Structure 1
Amino acid sequence: MSEYILTYSKTKFYPLEPVKEDIKIEDIAHALSLMTRANGHFKHFYSVAQHSISCCREALGRGYSRRVRLGCLLHDASESYISDLTRPVKRNMPEYFIIEDKLQKVIYDRFGLGDVSEEELRLISAVDDSLLYYEFDTLMNVQLFETRPAVSMQHDFSQRDFKSVENEFLSLFGEVSG
C-alpha cells in the first residue's frame, strides 16, 4: 500500500510527510473546485474553492493585507490533499488535527506565509466564520450564530461550473501572491 496520493499534476504527494516543493497551486485549485462544502448537504453543489474565493474577496473588501487575503484563499488548501471531515467527527479524531495543521503550515510556507502571525490567523478565521454563516443562511436557510456577522459585500453562492471556479481561484492566486 502506497503512502502517497497521485495529484492532478501527477505528483506523488505524501500527505503525512509533505514536501514543500511537491505542493502545486494547480493541484489545490483543481481539487478544491471539485470538493463540496458542508459534506454535500447544501441545496446544490458549492465548492470549497468557491468558499475560498469568497473569503479572499471578503478580506479585500475589509481592507486586509495581501497576506491575509492570500491566507484566506489558501486556508482550506490542506483539504485538497487530505479531504475534510465533518466537525463532529473531526473533534473526535485528534490525530487528524495534527496532520491537517502540519500540512497547512507547509502549504502556507510554500506560498510565503510560513511566518503567518496569530493576528493574521485570527483575521482569516473571522472571515471564514462570516462566510460560513452566510453559506448556511443562503444554502440551507439556517442561521448558525445568534449574531449575524458583518460582511463587506454580497457574495455569490450560486452553483457554478467547477472549471470556471478553478480558473478564478488560479487568477485570484496570481493577483494576491504577487
Structure 2
Amino acid sequence: MSDYILTYSKIKFFPLEPVQEDIKIEDIAHSLSLMTRANGHCSHFYSVAQHSIHCFQEAKSRGYSKREQLGCLLHDASESYISDLTRPVKRNMPEYFAIEEKLQSVIYDRFGLSDLSTEERQHIEAVDDTLLHYEFETLMKFQIFEIPPDKATEPDFSQRDFASVEQEFLAIYFSVIGMRSA
C-alpha cells in the first residue's frame, strides 16, 4: 500500500512528501468544513473551516495585512491532509509536529506565504489563540485563559451546514487573492 491519501478532487496526495502542485484550495475547504474542532467535544458540530473563517474575520477587523488574513484562513490547512491531534498529544509527538510543520510550510509556499515574518506569524498565532478561547467559552463553557484576550469581532459559533461553510471559505480565499471563484 502506498503512502498517499485520495483527496476530494481525486488527487493522490503524499502527506509525508507533499508536492505544492497537488495542494488545492478546494480540497482544503471541503475537508476542513467536515472536520470538527476540539476533537468533537463541542456542544454541537463546529468545523475547523468555521474556526478558520473566524480567524480571517478577526485578522481583518484588527487591520492586519491581506497576507496575515490569508495566513489566518490557512493556518490549519495541514489538518485537511493529516487530520489533527489535540494540543497535549501533539506536544508529546515530535515526529507528528515535524510532519505538520513541513506540510504547513509547503501549503504556505503554495499560496505565496512562505516568507511570513516572525511578527506576522505571531499575529496569526494570537488570532488563533483568541478564537480558541472564545470557542471553548461558548461551545464548552470553559475558559482557556484566565484573562480573556481582546477580540475585534463577535464570532457566530452556531452550527452551520458544512456546504455553506465550504463555500464561504472559498469565497473568502478568492476575495483575498483578488480572483473570482472557479
Normalising by structure 2, we get a TM-score of: 0.97
Structure 1 residues 83-92 or 153-162, which shifts more?
83-92
After superposition, what is the alpha-carbon deviation per residue over 1:37-63, rounded to whole angstroms, capped at 9, x for unaligned?
000000000000000000000000000
CA distance in 2, matches of 1:34, 1:24: 16
CA distance in 2, matches of 1:176, 1:129: 22
Q: CA deviation at 1:77?
A: 0.1
One-letter code of the match for 2:139? L
1:157 matches 2:157:
yes
Matching residue of 1:173: 173
Query: Which structure 1 residue ranges, 5 or more long, are not aligned?
Result: none
Secondary structure of the 2:72 match is helix
Contact 1:46 1:159 in 2 (8 A): yes
Across the aligned residues of Structure 1 and Structure 2, the Cα RMSD in angstroms comes to 0.5
Matching residue of 1:84: 84
Structure 1 residues 26-35 or 113-122, which shifts more?
113-122
After the TM superposition, which residues 35-50 of structure 1 pair with which residues of structure 2 at under 5 Å, given as runs? 35-50=35-50
Q: CA deviation at 1:91?
A: 1.3
CA distance in 1, matches of 2:92, 2:112: 32
CA distance in 2, matches of 1:88, 1:55: 22
CA distance in 2, matches of 1:153, 1:106: 30
After the TM superposition, which residues 102-121 of structure 1 pair with which residues of structure 2 at under 5 Å, given as runs? 102-121=102-121
1:128 matches 2:128:
yes
1:73 matches 2:111:
no
How many residue pairs get matched? Answer: 178
CA distance in 1, matches of 2:60, 2:145: 23
After superposition, what is the alpha-carbon deviation per residue over 1:74-127, rounded to whole angstroms, capped at 9, x for unaligned?
000000000000112111110001000000000000001011111110000000
CA distance in 1, matches of 2:85, 2:128: 16
Identity across matched positions, percent:
74
Moved over 6 A (4+): none
Matching residue of 1:63: 63
CA distance in 2, matches of 1:164, 1:4: 28
Q: CA deviation at 1:176?
A: 1.2
Secondary structure of the 1:9 match is coil
Query: Which structure 2 residue ranges, 5 or more long, are not aligned?
Result: none
